Amino acid sequence: MSKIFYPGTFDPITRGHVDLIERASLLFDEVIVAVARSEKKSPLFSVEEREQLCREAVSHLENISFVHFSGLTVNLAKDLGCNSVLRGVRAVADYEYELQLANMNRAMMPEFETVFLTPGENLSYISSSLLREIAAMGGDVSPFVPANVMAALRERIRG
């Protein structure tokens, strides 16, 4: 059985994230969405809320599971019994950073493999941090996030 995990803060989960999860679900028997605690990024939603939003956004897929984590990706890989990680790459700058991470992870765990997928070209410019900023300023981010996420953003920003 092949499995891969996809770590991220998913604050919020975007249509780009969903696209990558959907495509990975066709390539692997199981995709584990690993929601990072990452308090240093001051997430808009709690880890539990982010997981729930992710669950709802990919509820149409059957081979997806979820975990929370903090710490090193290679430690999570060992805990999950999984040696493949999915990373999304939108641009050359992403690739350079992700390549450095992939090489470091492989240095710490030689059997560790990073699988790079690019989002659809209509989704390649979307980032969670940019969407949070636009939403906080009253901009419409509905084309870039699933409907459940849009509703949660509206509720959170209104206070």
Is 68 among the catalytic positions?
no
**Do residues 22 and 31 touch, judged by C-beta distance below 8 A?**
no
Three-point CA angle 154, 157, 158, nearest 5°: 80
Is 90 among the catalytic positions?
yes
DSSP, res 156: H
Rounded Cα gap, residues 115 and 117, in angstroms: 7
The active-site residue, picked from 23, 90, 106, 156, is 90
In sequence order, the β-bridge partners of residue 35 are: 8, 68
The active-site residue, picked from 25, 84, 87, 128, is 128
The active-site residue, picked from 15, 17, 50, 132, is 17
Catalytic (active-site) positions:
17, 41, 90, 128
